[in-house]
A and B are shown apart, each in its own frame.
Chain A
């Protein structure tokens, strides 16, 4: 049973526009969430995190929103750049070191 789901396997966005990547989870005990970016033949790179006590966290062009009642989080990238083209994973944990990852969304930013 997949507790963290990224239902869109791919997304294409024009350069300069907003990219919105979505993630849904089923375990209401998850209290910390992370987003990672992964380029081909490289390991995932940590992007941004959010705790369940917040509903928004910003870091430069990246903003993560958390809707606990809907068990949904999203990553917004504004403005999108060609270098943002990668696979994005969301991950969640419930008070432990163990993170459950989604299957990823491939973002393609078109120049």
Chain B
């Protein structure tokens, strides 16, 4: 199936741990994104890569680091997890900005 797939779907972890969320798209899109949906359901962009180059880097803590080994993958690594990091994280990709995004199904991160 052509899609944006992210793993894991659910992630429960303790404060202070380091975790990664993986994202892969097989749509041939050049641009990939990470969005965070907070408890108020607000979808906010975190990062975007275009052909492995970082093009959007919003104000997020340094504990969050995206990594793009190739244009089909954009992983999100989070160090020293905090309670406030609990949210649903969505990966997305797009061919051009005017075509909108294709989103993954989300990763629900719970920090306890």
Q: Which residue numbers of A lie inside 8 Å of B, CB to CB? A: 2, 32, 34, 36, 41-46, 49, 51, 87, 89, 91, 93, 96-101, 103-104
Contacts and interface: CB of A to CB of B under 8 A. Distances in A.
B65 interface: no
Contact of B106 (A34, A41, A97): A41
B101 interface: yes
Contacts, number: 61
A87 B41 contact: yes
B103 A49 contact: no
Nearest to B50: A97
A45 B103 contact: yes
A43 B31 contact: no
Given A32-B98, A43-B4, A49-B98, A104 B106 contact: no
Interface residues of B, number: 27
B40 A51 contact: no
Interface in B44-97: 44-45, 48, 50, 55-56, 90, 92, 94, 97
Interface of A is mostly: strand
Interface of B: 4, 31, 33, 35, 40-45, 48, 50, 55-56, 90, 92, 94, 97-106
Contact of A46 (B33, B55, B97, B102): B102
